[in-house]
Structure 1
Amino acid sequence: MLARRPILGGVALLAASPILSPGRAQGSFDAFLDGVRAEARRAGVSQATLRALSGLQPNQRVIELDNRQPEGRLSWEEYRDRIMVNPVRVQNGQRMYAENRGLLGAIEARYRVSPRVIVAIWGVETNFGGNTGGFAVIEALATLAWEGRRAEFFRKELLAALRVLDGGHISPARMTGSWAGAMGQPQFMPTNFERMAVDFDGDGRRDIWDSRADALGSIAHYFQKSGWREGEPWGRAVRPPAGFVAEGADTEAVRSLRDWGRLGWRSEDGSPLPASELEARVVLPNRGGGQVFLGHHNLRVIRRYNSPVNYGLAVGLLSDRFG
């Protein structure tokens, strides 16, 4: 989840604005950087760290990506099977889960978050750390803050990124991420780094780029702070009773699984729902072909990491394949 948006952690792509020429706006970009330097100094950022702003130019590729509108929209089934829960990702995730079982157990013991959802997020965000983005974060954020469509948001993230550098957690050269400034293996925006990143390996730095322990621990911390309930499932695919119509369905009503079962709802394979008091509500994928889910509290927690409903459902389904 690199170029499509910063995570929550996040901001969605917005309506297009004219692509600006760095050469045409060079003077105003220099003035913008002067203002950022002054604000960062007032916030206590060192002069040494502010050298990261030296010699910057607006990155035209970042502006192009920010202005690009999505071409086409995948159906739920295409998104699920081709992009998110495809055989390669499942196989790699199972291998990563097994290879990191000890680390994941230690993280679960501290944060009480399912290792399966941690590995699923790791997989969909950066292909298990293999694709964390190649844009210089300071340059990308400076470009977006100057370009102006979300100037306040990206200026805040730029100042946070400078504070991250000033804290010694990463070098400017290694501080790479998506075109929108999402960083490291969890794809945290800088303000989320400040709030959620952890030093799980105990070396004095919160290194979500190169420390697997810090990256996975930070994902778990994010979920803990977002309200993850230990031991509860995220949801399940279900078979509605006869006469159910997706269009106009009540997706706000909350009932126990026991009560959903009494109303004729069953598991997708036709077996009875658990006779449980665990609460759930109907969840319908966007652009779906008929699949229906009952979602629990932890599905909403997954969606606090990235809000689209299809993302949350796919992460949940992927997590079920691990462990």
Structure 2
Amino acid sequence: MRVLFVFLGLIWATAVPALDRAAVEQRFQAWLSTELWPLARAEGVSRRAFQNSLSGVRINWDLPDLVPPGTTPKTPKTQRQAEFGAPARYFNANTVQGTAAAGRRMAKRHAATLRRVEADTGVPARIILAIWGRESGFGQVPIRHDAFQVLATKAFMSTRAAYFTDELIAALQIVEAGHISGRAMKSSWAGALGQPQFMPSSFLTYAADGNGDGRADIWGSAEDTIASIANYLARHGWVSGRDWGFEVTVPASVSCALEGPDQGRPIRDWVAMGVTRVSGRPFSAHELRGEGYLMMPAGRHGPAFIVTPNFYVLKDYNTSDLYALFVGHVGDRIQYGVGDFKGHWGKVGGLYRSDIAAMQKDLIAMGHDVGGADGLPGYKTRRSIGRWQEATGQRPTCFPDARMKSRLRP
């Protein structure tokens, strides 16, 4: 990825009051011409493509995580992205069942394309369908945001300005290459494009022609969408022949702090420790030999899983445990007709991000690696909580709760 030194505190010599939106808008327009245009030109974007894409674009003040010039970034109190919220809400029965039912219909409608793409890439059709369904409802969910307004706003003043500047320039390169006109490019509120919801840089790298017409149309072509999703997963290391994971029962003797992709071991070793599949079926011989990882997205307050390297390929698509779990589970429902998880989600996930960030800072002060004080309870935070609980004589749950706020002090 291009290294772009875009830091608003250095770009602007004079701070503007955070609420003076007219003045910030003036700075935004100046930034487009004096800062962004030279960067885009250096990456092969023509003046015509630049103007056609960004003419008339103004700041979208409704987007999350904005840091106007002269203000200080803060951890938001609430979590807007569903993938990092309460697990029970994310696995709403209507959403899960509806996506699986629609996936079975799409499996029949696009059977020939799915067979061909699966044979070419090794990525199972059920996984492709589950991602397609989750990302855009198989192309039925309206995508209404102006992609250049979203990307330009976030590149100018978000908590990840450099990242979004790269993505903005990638979007300009998409227009320059003639894939779509700038004003027609629609995105999610995060800047993701088309039916597979690719960020612009992912489109440039992974979009594929699935119908042989010489184009990679992720906006209007189901065949191209299927091929593009499979290409993305294959090139991120999908292991053909292995599953994504299995729901399991984890005995109390196995610590929830053993979670994480850096604590893997052959699945036969997990079995020897007492971990069993909730289905009652044994693991196949080739899975027993393969590496597996403990994954407990709600700690002891929800279902537990032994996942394979393919689970983390799914996380490359969207860096959320719940997202990868949703895709794997819905894929299984599409192909095998499995039911709900056997484990039940507890009442977790209701804390403010700012509360979790404060807990993470306390854990960091104790020497734990929580993966950053971002207010998101990822596996490093979960297992750090478990290790702290074990060290202080508590029953490890490996998930933040309100009672920990006062007790978590170095």
Number of the residue aligned with 2:40: 40
Alignment of 1:116-127 (within 5 A): 116-127=126-137
Once the two structures are TM-superposed, the CA of residue 322 in structure 1 deviates from its matched residue by: 1.8
Alignment of 1:139-178 (within 5 A): 139-178=149-188
Shifted more, 225-234 versus 257-266: the winner is: 257-266
Once the two structures are TM-superposed, the CA of residue 249 in structure 1 deviates from its matched residue by: 3.7
For structure 2, the 5+ residue unaligned runs are: 1-16, 68-75, 336-410
Shifted more, 219-228 versus 303-312: the winner is: 303-312
**TM-score normalised by L of structure 2:** 0.68
Say whether 1:209 aligns with 2:208: no
Once the two structures are TM-superposed, the CA of residue 197 in structure 1 deviates from its matched residue by: 1.1
CA contact (8 A) 1:97 1:119 kept: yes
**TM-score normalised by L of structure 1:** 0.85
Alignment of 1:1-323 (within 5 A): 22-35=21-34, 36-50=36-50, 51-62=52-63, 69-70=78-79, 74-82=85-93, 86-131=96-141, 133-241=143-251, 243-246=253-256, 248-249=257-258, 251=260, 252-275=262-285, 276-286=288-298, 289-323=301-335
Once the two structures are TM-superposed, the CA of residue 228 in structure 1 deviates from its matched residue by: 0.2
Once the two structures are TM-superposed, the CA of residue 148 in structure 1 deviates from its matched residue by: 4.5
Looking at structure 2, the residues matched to 20 and 228 of structure 1 have their Cα atoms a distance apart, in angstroms, of 47
Looking at structure 2, the residues matched to 162 and 203 of structure 1 have their Cα atoms a distance apart, in angstroms, of 23
Higher relative contact order (CA 8 A, sep 6+): 1
Once the two structures are TM-superposed, the CA of residue 20 in structure 1 deviates from its matched residue by: 5.5
Once the two structures are TM-superposed, the CA of residue 26 in structure 1 deviates from its matched residue by: 2.8
Once the two structures are TM-superposed, the CA of residue 194 in structure 1 deviates from its matched residue by: 1.1
* SS at 1:159 equivalent: helix
Looking at structure 1, the residues matched to 179 and 158 of structure 2 have their Cα atoms a distance apart, in angstroms, of 29
**Which is higher, the Rg of structure 1 or of structure 2?**
2
Looking at structure 1, the residues matched to 196 and 18 of structure 2 have their Cα atoms a distance apart, in angstroms, of 29
| AA at the equivalent of 2:31 | F
CA contact (8 A) 2:66 2:158 kept: no
Looking at structure 2, the residues matched to 19 and 115 of structure 1 have their Cα atoms a distance apart, in angstroms, of 49
Looking at structure 2, the residues matched to 182 and 22 of structure 1 have their Cα atoms a distance apart, in angstroms, of 26
* SS at 1:61 equivalent: coil
Looking at structure 2, the residues matched to 91 and 166 of structure 1 have their Cα atoms a distance apart, in angstroms, of 39
| AA at the equivalent of 2:49 | T
CA contact (8 A) 1:197 1:208 kept: yes
Number of the residue aligned with 2:403: none
| AA at the equivalent of 1:293 | F
- Aligned residues between the structures: 304
1:102-150 per-position Cα deviation (integer Å, ceiling 9, x unaligned): 1111211222211111111111111111125211111111111122432
1:246-287 per-position Cα deviation (integer Å, ceiling 9, x unaligned): 3x3454543333333333322103343334312212111136
Q: Structure 1 pair 74/64, CA: closer, same or farther in 2 (3 Å)?
A: closer
* SS at 2:139 equivalent: coil
Looking at structure 1, the residues matched to 198 and 114 of structure 2 have their Cα atoms a distance apart, in angstroms, of 19
Q: Structure 1 pair 19/319, CA: closer, same or farther in 2 (3 Å)?
A: farther
CA contact (8 A) 2:65 2:159 kept: no
Shifted more, 237-246 versus 18-27: the winner is: 18-27
Looking at structure 2, the residues matched to 155 and 188 of structure 1 have their Cα atoms a distance apart, in angstroms, of 16
CA contact (8 A) 2:209 2:215 kept: yes
1:143-200 per-position Cα deviation (integer Å, ceiling 9, x unaligned): 1112243222211111110100111111223310112211111111111111111122
CA contact (8 A) 2:246 2:277 kept: yes
* SS at 1:322 equivalent: helix
1:55-104 per-position Cα deviation (integer Å, ceiling 9, x unaligned): 221122235889783279754334224475x2211111111112111111
